[in-house]
Copies of this chain bind each other. A is one copy, B any other.
């Protein structure tokens, strides 16, 4: 019961690699994103969801479910973005306790510039690492995992929003 590892389970190793890869990519991409768009990775993630949505508007709860944020965290995030003029809040007519987060024209402009740069960075970063076929394999395996763990989180969500395009902000 010491420095040995009797617990070299294959699955544990896989999960460890997953965490390491994810953290490593984030660590590289985050500073790049910040310097060429002024956005912190988390803000970018929120804005991407809005930018991808027709009408640029999403309910707060929807946005929280799509990002890896709790409702609380999303509230603060939208607060900051609103303060920065990128997002506005609008009341929901059908449900008066609800609110929409709406990407402002300024936010749209910023994202129109930031997204291509970010995509280019990702592209460059992963160039030559995996073959095209390997990339597809990886995507499909990850998708299986992602789908499997959806809904196990808080368990009561069950939201089935399933954008199978996994929104793939590429930063969070």
Residue positions of A touching B, CB distance < 8 A = 1-3, 5, 7-28, 51-56, 68, 108, 112, 115-116, 119, 122-123, 125-126, 129-130, 132, 134-139, 141-146, 148-150, 152-153, 165-172
Question: Which single residue of chain B is at the shortest CB-CB distance from A18?
Answer: B22
The closest CB in chain B to the CB of A128 belongs to: B148
Contacts of A152 in B (CB 8 A): 28, 125
Cα distance A150–B25 in the bound complex, in angstroms: 10
Given A7-B115, A12-B170, A24-B149, 15 other A-B residues pairs in contact with their CB atoms under 8 A: A3-B51, A3-B55, A12-B119, A17-B146, A19-B22, A19-B169, A19-B172, A20-B142, A20-B166, A22-B22, A22-B23, A24-B153, A134-B144, A137-B141, A138-B138
* Contact of A16 with B55 in the complex, beta carbons under 8 Å: no
**Shortest beta-carbon contacts, A-B, top 9:** A16-B168, A22-B22, A19-B172, A3-B54, A17-B142, A23-B68, A13-B168, A24-B149, A12-B170
Bound Cα distance from A169 to B15, whole angstroms: 8
Chain B residue contacts of A28, Cβ below 8 A: 149, 152-153
CB-CB nearest in chain B for A67: B23
Contacts of A23 in B (CB 8 A): 22, 68, 172
The CA-CA distance from A25 to B19 in the complex, in Å, is 9
Closest residue of chain B to A12 (Cβ to Cβ) is: B170
Given the complex, which residues of B lie within 8 Å of A165, measured CB to CB? 5, 8, 13
